[in-house]
Structure 1
């Protein structure tokens, strides 16, 4: 089974991509046009700041995993850049095949190459040991959130 890690492109089936994200969180019903417009906004406003990656099967073009690196331009750390890993999900039928590891290793390398001063992510408690394998560590227990949806 041959797989390919690549940047997300509009040619990828949007419906399939959103179905994969639904395994992580609610994507709510959005149209193809809404998706394309948001992708365009993300890429045109800060082209170095949004990186969406997918792993797909070559034979079927089916997306089996995705993750994103989102970078924030900051004033701190000498006008540095902070990175966040977002929306990591591996299709439930493909888990345990190292796709999450491949995506994380790639994102960590890219973030380092881009010169981010810090790379962080949020995850469920049971996934902490998985992410610690890639160098993530607890940095205090003061993460707070307000949800509006």
Structure 2
């Protein structure tokens, strides 16, 4: 099932949120209407962003200075690296996130590929289609940047979720980790 979505529109100053539905389409349920996807803001560290990432993988504590430095570094590359978040407005807590970075290639007439990473929904907020909203935000961002495809790696446990989002099993992931 492919979602019919408008291209993302970002505006940090006005905090314009990206909504995955067109104006003439109804949301799957009213619960979804409460949650908009936006770009990560520097203040999101204090809203549980790092703690949310810890539900996904090893993520040591990050000092405020280190967070600010990394945030500025990623912001400097503009739309080539975007981190989307969903904030639960009543609690002020970040409850879902994911990122996409754009790889510029020589293949496919100097094409571009979007790489989706670090998708996680808070354990207390699962089942509300927030993961789909994050994935839609990230894939549409990649499309708007002119990518010819978007790819990701996932565990076997998450394969069905990504298939529901329109992804297909392509090949085998391999990795080499370095000691730090």
Report the alpha carbon displacement of residue 80 of structure 1 after superposing the two structures with TM: 1.6
The equivalent residue for 2:147 is 116
Matched, 1:148 2:178: yes
Matched, 1:105 2:101: no
The equivalent residue for 2:72 is 40
SS in 1 for 2:43: coil
Matched, 1:17 2:17: no
Say if 2:36 and 2:86, in contact at 8 Å, map to a contact too: yes
TM-score (norm 2): 0.76
Say if 1:4 and 1:58, in contact at 8 Å, map to a contact too: no
SS in 2 for 1:110: helix
> Would you say how many aligned residue pairs link Structure 1 and Structure 2?
147
Please, what is the CA RMSD of the aligned residues? 1.5
Report the alpha carbon displacement of residue 14 of structure 1 after superposing the two structures with TM: 4.2
Gaps of 5+ in 2: 1-30
Between structures 1 and 2, the one with greater strand share: 1
Say if 1:14 and 1:32, in contact at 8 Å, map to a contact too: no
Report the alpha carbon displacement of residue 63 of structure 1 after superposing the two structures with TM: 0.8
Report the alpha carbon displacement of residue 3 of structure 1 after superposing the two structures with TM: 2.5
Say if 2:45 and 2:67, in contact at 8 Å, map to a contact too: no
Say if 1:6 and 1:53, in contact at 8 Å, map to a contact too: yes
Report the alpha carbon displacement of residue 13 of structure 1 after superposing the two structures with TM: 3.0
Gaps of 5+ in 1: none
TM-score (norm 1): 0.91
User: Within 1, Cα distance between the matches of 2:113 and 2:148?
Assistant: 6
Say if 1:56 and 1:65, in contact at 8 Å, map to a contact too: yes
